[in-house]
Amino acid sequence: MLEEEFYTEWDEGYQEAAALLDGRDDAIDEQVSAVEADVELVGVTAIEDKLQEGVPAAIQTLLDAGMKVPFVLLHAAQHHGWCSYLLCQCLSNVSCS
């Protein structure tokens, strides 16, 4: 949780960065990096009907960081098996049984 004083100062910097005409992307990245430092992720949720590009790598990053990542695959029979196969192929420590 962010302290109100920190957020107020951060938001001012972010608004200034967002208003820049030159170097806006770099300035915003700098502001975002400042607020994302030392963040403790307590939960993640996502809903999608297929395994999208980049999802396996993102899940593996969470696992590498020590997060517990439960999976509930609710899907139409047509794609369920394929999504399960892709997920298991991308994550070596997931059992597909």
Q: What's the half-sphere exposure (Cβ side, CA atoms, 13 Å) at 17?
A: 16
pLDDT of residue 28: 94
DSSP state of 92: T
pLDDT of residue 40: 74
Condensed to tens digits (0 to 9), the pLDDT of residues 39-52 reads: 776 766 665 555 66
Stronger pLDDT, 47 or 18, i.e. the higher one:
18
pTM value?
0.46
Give the Cβ contact number of residue 70 at 10 Å: 4
The mean pLDDT value of the chain amounts to 75
Task: Scan for tokens 């975002």, then name that residue.
Answer: 32
Domain ranges of the chain: 1-39, 43-97
